[in-house]
Amino acid sequence: MKIFKDEEKLSPEYVPPNLPHRENELNMLKTFFSSVIDGTPSISTRVIVSGSVGTGKSALVKLFGQKAVSEASKKGVDLKFLYVNCRISKTTFSVLRKLIEQLKARLPERGLSNEEFIHKLLDHLEYKGSYAILALDEVEMLLREEGSEPFYLFSRVGEERLKIPRISTIFIFRNPEILDTLDASTRSSLLGNIIHLKEYDYSQLYDIVKYRASLAFRPDVLMEDAIQLIADIASERGDARYALDILWRAGKYAEAENASQVAPEHVRKAAASVYPTIRREHLEFLEQHSKLILLALAQALDIEKSAYVTSSILNDYYKMVCEEYDVEPRSYTSFWEALQRLDDLGIIKIRVVSEGSKGRKSYISLPGIPTSILKKELIPLLPSKQAKQ
């Protein structure tokens, strides 16, 4: 039996035309950016959108971007919505390149400092009479890599030009506490408009699942009990992505069994195979050394038969894995930085314990996924060992 009418509507990239239970936040964004949409901004607007995993941050901002552009165009305002995910573009330079690409601006790609780059961008917008809303998603990644420089660049340079502000920004964070690591003046320039997305509760997840199923599934194939069960399972984390992953997989199980409906049993099967802390798109975009570190962690936890390994033991395993794959291991400092990024992504957990006179030790664990599954996901993403010879 055919279960899906349009499976794509459940893919992580798809932005639905409505976001139930985020209408207020969408309106807040519209209000904050109303002068930009009208083409009459007098100051550059900056907004922070925060909230934990799967609370709809990316979807909300992308949907807002689409709406803002079309509303502006009705008013004859040329507004660009530029979206960059800093998990993929981790440096200021690569963010800038993405922006240039999206603007389709012809600019020299090399030989400019980041600050000159921003000025060129602003020149381009001024020349065209356009405005841009710049959304930087998963900013903690950029912040870890570059400190406050990008924030200065994206928020202050425009102001210093004393012309009409051309760029307004939305910064998307999971945990805005990371802002505490910035210097006071950058921090104060960012603070102000914060939209915090609370985790979804049972009834909100129920509505979201029902709505997304109506886009993706054929009418009446999803049983009422199945919707309730998904909402129940996902409400523990308040995570809509987790709910939709289970929904999609439950549909796949039903289809594979040739069932005519998606039933609670399909949901139970699906829930047993979805690991909310690991997202395939996260693993794919990790740099090779982070993948090797994760593989080393999976091996170490297996071999040591324990829940935790210390960072120094993990480093030994990492060196062995590097040898297997015939790559040079990174220095301990970069190894440690990679661990922190993996912790930021929620894939691993680092617990630092002070052990009296012996100093501090870091214990690394893998809370959300069995080692066997992690290995199975990682190995195809790594170069085959023979090919390395």
Ligand X SMILES: Nc1ncnc2c1ncn2[C@@H]1O[C@H](COP(=O)(O)OP(=O)(O)OP(=O)(O)O)[C@@H](O)[C@H]1O
Task: Give me Rg for the CA atoms of the chain.
Answer: 23
Stretch of residues binding ligand X (CB under 6 A), selected from 12-20, 64-72, 330-338, 351-359? 12-20
- CB of residue 279 to ligand X, shortest distance in Å: 7
Tell me if 16 contacts ligand X by CB under 6 A.
Answer: yes
Q: Does 329 bind ligand X (CB under 6 A)?
A: no
Which does residue 153 bind out of Mg ion, ligand X, none, counting CB within 5 to 8 angstroms by kind? none
Q: Which is nearer to ligand X, 60 or 374 (CB)?
A: 60
Which one, of 187, 75, 79, lies nearest residue 130 by Cα?
79
Give the single-character DSSP code of 370: -
Spatial separation of the C-alpha atoms in residues 236 and 241, rounded to whole Å? 13
If binding is defined by CB under 6 A, does position 252 make contact with ligand X? no
Q: Closest distance between Mg ion and the C-beta of residue 137, in Å?
A: 6
Q: Which residue is nearest to ligand X (CB)?
A: 56
Q: How far is the C-alpha of 289 from the C-alpha of 312, rounded, in Å?
A: 16
CB of 44 to Mg ion, least distance (A): 24
Residue 19 partner contact from Mg ion, ligand X, none using kind-dependent CB cut-offs of 5 to 8 Å: ligand X
| Phi and psi, residue 264, nearest 5° | -55, -35
How far apart CA 306 and CA 6 sit, in angstroms, is 43
Q: What are phi and psi for residue 91, nearest 5 degrees?
A: -120, 160
Residues forming beta bridges with residue 195, ordered by sequence position: 49
Residues in contact with ligand X, shown as a per-residue x/- string from 170 to 189 under the rule CB under 6 A = ----x---------------
SS (H, E, C) 234-259: HHCCCCHHHHHHHHHHHHHHHHHCCC
85 binds, among Mg ion, ligand X, none (CB under 5 to 8 A by kind): none
- How buried is 266 (Cβ within 10 angstroms: 0-12 exposed, 13-18 middle, 19+ buried)? buried
Looking at beta carbons only, is 12 or 367 nearer to Mg ion?
A: 12
Among the listed residues 51, 158, 251, 276, the single contact to ligand X using CB under 6 A: 51
Site for Mg ion, residues 56 to 95, rule: CB under 5 A: 58
Residue 251 interacts with, from ligand X, Mg ion, none (CB under 5-8 Å by kind)? none
Q: Rounded CA gap, 258 and 179, in Å? A: 50
The dihedral built from the CA positions of residue 280, 286, 288 and 293, taken in this order, carries a sign that is negative
Between CA 352 and CA 364, with CA 358 as vertex, the angle to 5 degrees is 25
Question: Binding to ligand X (CB under 6 A): which residues in 230-249?
Answer: 240-241, 244
Which residues contribute to the site for Mg ion (CB under 5 A)?
A: 58
Which residues contribute to the site for ligand X (CB under 6 A)?
A: 12, 16, 19-22, 51, 53-59, 174, 208, 211-212, 240-241, 244
